[in-house]
Amino acid sequence: MIAFLLKGGVVMIPIAVLSIVALALIAERIAFFLGIRERGDGLHARIIELVATGNAPAAFDELERTRTPEAKVLLAGLAARAEGQSGETVSLRMEAQALKHTAALEHNVGFLSSVANLCTLLGLLGTVTGMLRAFLNMRVSGISDPARLAGGISEALITTVAGLCVAIPCLLAFHVFRQRVNSALSRMEIASSELLGLFAREKQLRIKL
- pLDDT computed for residue 6 by the predictor: 63
Neighbouring CB atoms inside 10 A of 204's CB total 10
- pLDDT computed for residue 197 by the predictor: 87
- pLDDT computed for residue 139 by the predictor: 67
- pLDDT computed for residue 3 by the predictor: 61
Threshold 0.75, pTM exceeds: yes
- The string of pLDDT tens digits covering residues 91-109 is 999 999 999 999 999 999 9
- pLDDT computed for residue 18 by the predictor: 94
Residue-by-residue pLDDT tens, the chain, 209 positions: 566 556 667 888 899 999 999 999 999 999 999 888 766 567 888 888 888 888 888 888 888 888 889 999 999 999 988 888 888 888 999 999 999 999 999 999 999 999 999 999 999 888 888 777 777 766 666 555 566 666 667 777 888 889 999 999 999 999 999 999 999 999 899 888 988 888 888 777 766 65
**DSSP of 68-96, one letter per residue?**
SHHHHHHHHHHHHHHTT--HHHHHHHHHH
- pLDDT computed for residue 10 by the predictor: 80
- pLDDT computed for residue 30 by the predictor: 94
Q: Cα 177 from chain centroid?
A: 4
Query: Residues 10, 16, 17, 20: what is their CA dihedral angle, to the nearest 10 degrees?
Result: 180
